[in-house]
Structure 1
Amino acid sequence: MRVGFILQVQVIVALGALTSVHSKLELTNIKCISHDPDFAGFEYCLLKSINRSYKYLSLKVKLFKVPITDIKVNLALAKKSSGYNPFLYNITVDACRFLKYPKSNPVIGYMYDFFRAHSNMNHTCPYDHDLLVDKVTTNFINKHVTEVLPFPEGEFRFRSHWIAYGILRATASVYATLS
């Protein structure tokens, strides 16, 4: 009887310790590739470190063949383990439909909130101007992802393929470590 009580107390203490642990996400790199330089090009794609605890990423895509009325985005999360392997998410979204009906899916609704807060991609198609993602910090990501979803520690890659009119036009990959 006493052993069962001690075990219950140990489990409660362990669960309490687990709920007080917070993950820390650190951005480590960003890579942007224009697969069709006649269609779009990156003016900048950077990860800027202000100090040891504050980094942000920004990118600007110059569009050369506007207006754009058909664009799909493939989003994939991979975890490093003998190379980067698929992990949890790999979805393709019709960007025009996504922007027209942002709350049709909870995950997609979250992405819409992200885009409204950090980019100029906040209206429906057609797109006839450059695309800008400005100063996305790890604080934003930690608040909305690691505090809500339990993620394992490790190195991750978030990759987005931008497909316009059925042709791959650009890829942006963000690398991060979760500890």
Structure 2
Amino acid sequence: MRNTLGVVILLTLILPWKLSDSVTYKLTNFRCQSYENSFVTINQCRLKAISRNKTILNFNASLANPANSIFLEYQMLKRANGYKPWLFNVKVDGCRFLRKPYDPITVLIYNVYRRFSNVNHTCPFTGDILVLGMYLTTQIKTIPYPTGDYMLSMNWIFNHKPQFITNVSFQFVEDL
């Protein structure tokens, strides 16, 4: 029993390190659409290719009014004859989450873009929302999923009204 536990711990430490060389993430598409330009104006929404395997995401939106209540509805979609719902569909209170993170999947997503963004305080939000130079690395593989094309669709709700939607498509390839 003791040897089995030791082997499991050893494999837990070594396998992610070895698999990180064979895992590739690449941003493939980024779409943004504002429902109401009088509240949110999207100034920049684009991907920029840096190299063959590295693409960065830039997003800049301006809020005309303070947002005191922010909700985020997001879902993961997998491409198979069009994008189909896959794995999760979540609604999160953004103000509560930024005070004290409570949803594990949202924590994973937030950790991906946190260091590239100015979204680091609680409500109310005013001015510009920026995500500059964001790219995907192999350190984000914490949920096991198969090779394929995926899209994270996020519907942003400010002050109880849908304001804009962002769709981030990426490719995940695992060569074993």
Q: Which category of TM-score, normalised to the shorter sequence, fits these structures? A: 0.7 to 0.9
- Report the CA distance shift for 1:90/1:27 in structure 2 as closer, same or farther (over 3 A): same
- Establish whether residue 119 from structure 1 lines up as the match of residue 113 from structure 2: no
- Report the CA distance shift for 1:42/1:160 in structure 2 as closer, same or farther (over 3 A): same
Larger radius of gyration: 1
Cα drift, residue 71 of structure 1: 1.1
Structure-to-structure mapping, 1:66-105, within 5 angstroms? 67-102=66-101, 104-105=102-103
Cα drift, residue 92 of structure 1: 0.8
**3-state SS in 2 of match to 1:175:** strand
Q: Which amino acid aligns with 1:117?
A: R
Report the TM-score when normalising by structure 2.
0.81
RMSD over equivalenced CA pairs, Å: 1.8
Runs of 5+ consecutive residues of structure 1 not aligned to the other structure? 1-15
1:68-120, Cα deviation, whole Å (9 max, x unpaired): 10110111110011211111121011111011112x33333334433431211
In the other structure, the counterpart of 1:7 is none
Whole-Å Cα distance in 2 between the matches of residues 54 and 113 of structure 1? Answer: 19
**3-state SS in 2 of match to 1:128:** strand
Q: Percent identity?
A: 30
Count of aligned residue pairs for this structure pair = 156
**3-state SS in 2 of match to 1:159:** strand
Q: 1:150 aligns with which of 138, 144, 151?
A: 144
In the other structure, the counterpart of 1:107 is 105
**3-state SS in 1 of match to 2:126:** coil
**3-state SS in 2 of match to 1:108:** helix
Does the Cα contact within 8 Å between 1:55 and 1:137 map onto a contact in 2?
A: yes
Whole-Å Cα distance in 1 between the matches of residues 166 and 110 of structure 2? Answer: 18
Cα drift, residue 152 of structure 1: 0.6
- Structure number with higher strand proportion: 2
Structure-to-structure mapping, 1:136-175, within 5 angstroms? 136-139=134-137, 142-145=138-141, 148-175=142-169
**3-state SS in 1 of match to 2:125:** coil
1:110-161, Cα deviation, whole Å (9 max, x unpaired): 344334312111100011221011111122xx2112xx22211111111110
| Dislocated runs of 4+, deviation >2 Å | 19-23, 104-116
